[in-house]
Amino acid sequence: MGLKIYFCGSIRGGRQDVEIYHRIISCLKTFGQVLTEHVGGVHLLEQGEELKTGDKYIHDRDLDWLHEADVIVAEVTQPSLGVGYEIGRGVALNKRILCLFRSASNRVLSAMIRGAENGSDFHVEDYAEETVERILQQYFQIPSNCKHLSDTVTN
């Protein structure tokens, strides 16, 4: 069956980082099935998916995928209520979670994400765009060592 990966990225919170979401998803697909591939869609705009069934459908479908997922990877640089909610629900489900934050963004990550780092199943990685594939490779190969990956990653 393979690993099921839930990727979180901002949609209504702003689509500025869609290209990096797309890149992360392409890399994640080498490790397993990405349940939320639409999040990296370059044609998906800030208004979100145009589903006749509406927001309740999106919420319930995504929660089903969260339950199904083996691991959650969230790009958290662009603040998004939906991404924060997904991470919180993932914590409540005891999922393995990797949050990726771009240090060069000049943003300060929420304490509710940074402070949730626990050295085991909840990791926050500060990364530079050019190192993201390497960080993901190391996380999926040796998840328990992810905490200090950004110290060791070189191009």
Ligand X SMILES: O=c1[nH]c(=O)n([C@H]2C[C@H](O)[C@@H](COP(=O)(O)O)O2)cc1CO
When binding is defined by CB under 6 A, the residue of 49, 70, 121, 133 that contacts ligand X is 49
Is 110 labeled as ligand-binding? yes
CA separation for the pair 99, 14 (Å, rounded): 18
Residue 17 as a binder of ligand X (CB under 6 A): the answer is: no
Closest separation between CB of residue 154 and ligand X, Å?
Answer: 30
Number of residues that bind ligand X (CB under 6 A): 17
Least distance to ligand X, CB of residue 7, Å = 7
**Alpha carbons 88 and 62: distance in angstroms, whole number:** 13
Tokens of 99: 């949050």
Give the separation between CA 15 and CA 48, rounded to whole angstroms: 10
Contact between 11 and ligand X per CB under 6 A: yes
Ligand-binding annotation for 57, yes or no, is: no
Under the binding rule (CB under 6 A), the answer on residue 5 touching ligand X is no
Alpha helix ranges (H) inside 14-148: 18-28, 54-68, 81-92, 111-114, 132-141
Q: At what angle do helices 54-68 and 81-92 cross, to 10 degrees?
A: 40
How far from the centroid of its chain's Cα atoms is residue 121's Cα? 14
| Residue 96 among known ligand-binding residues | no
- Tell the smallest beta-carbon distance from residue 21 to ligand X (Å): 9
User: What is the smallest separation between the CB atom of 11 and ligand X, expressed in angstroms?
Assistant: 3
Q: Do the annotations mark residue 101 as ligand-binding?
A: no
What part of residues 57-96 is at the interface with ligand X (CB under 6 A)?
Answer: 58, 62, 80-83, 86
The two structure tokens encoding residue 11 = 């949609």
Enumerate binding residues for ligand X (CB under 6 A): 8-13, 36, 39, 48-49, 58, 62, 80-83, 86
